[in-house]
Amino acid sequence: MIEYDAYLWGAAASAIGFAALWPISLWRRDASVVDLWWGPGFFAFVVAAMSARGAVPGGGEIGTQGLVALGLLALWSARMGWTLTARRVRALGEDPRYSALRASRSKGWWWKSLFVIFALQALLQGLLVAPTAATILADPTPTGALLLLGAAIALGGLALETIADAQLDAWAAARPEQLCTTGLRALARHPNYTGEIMFWSGMALIGIDAGILWAPTTPILLALLLALVSGKPMMEERLERHAAWTDYAAATPPFVPSLRALGAALRRRAGV
């Protein structure tokens, strides 16, 4: 299990990043800047924890499972950071999710936002990344089949969410007022969330292989958040304004494609 002091160093690195963005959000009147630290903050957490432990890649302190987890986390953090930063650059205003929070808590929002948005995301980041940090800092142990299986699932999830986000961004650039129902979104309404859950499920299997039996807490918590709190509910509240939404939502599952939809997609690709 991760050492207490190493976790505190990681949490401090995470919190510092969010705290630095808070005054920028006040200056810009845009709490969306919090998203800029979501991906990179995960990697900063584990780097700070590794520094506190004196662990370096290739130095013998990190086992094979930890090295694989570290590499996958680096890829995930870079992709998430790039995607969210690019969206912030293209956006003309505050993300509607944060605008709604601002409107509902307008009085004293300048200080409320520190806790409602920035501190809360720091807390969630620490909870979600803790099992991966523990995996990286675990004592080296022999590897098993779960390492390969977990890495394959994580890479598959990473590829899925990368393609899904790229398709959505391309659609939004060409048809900003239309509902995206093509590509992966012809199979599921939120394939990027499916890829995200897959990625962290793979990371959990790598953690279990390293002896971190509580590693599944990350995909479980993430799935609950995406399905019930900040993912699907908030996103679909915005999408419901489209005239095509009702029929699309009735025919398309939220996360896992139906066998019928998969079969139809394969037939279309085969030209049948």
Q: Say yes or no to pLDDT of 231 above 70.
A: yes
> If 0-12 CB within 10 Å is exposed, 13-18 middle and 19+ buried, where does residue 25 land?
buried
Q: Where are the domains of the chain?
A: 1-140, 143-272
pLDDT average, residue stretch 17-39: 96
* Per-residue confidence band for 246, with pLDDT thresholds at 50, 70 and 90: very high
Q: Say yes or no to pLDDT of 203 above 70.
A: yes
* Per-residue confidence band for 207, with pLDDT thresholds at 50, 70 and 90: very high
Res 91: pLDDT: 85
Res 70: pLDDT: 97
The per-residue pLDDT for range 173-196, each reduced to its tens digit, is: 998 889 999 999 999 999 999 999
Query: Residue 166 phi/psi, 5° resolution?
Result: -65, -40
> If 0-12 CB within 10 Å is exposed, 13-18 middle and 19+ buried, where does residue 12 land?
middle
SS3 217: helix
Give this prediction's pTM.
0.92
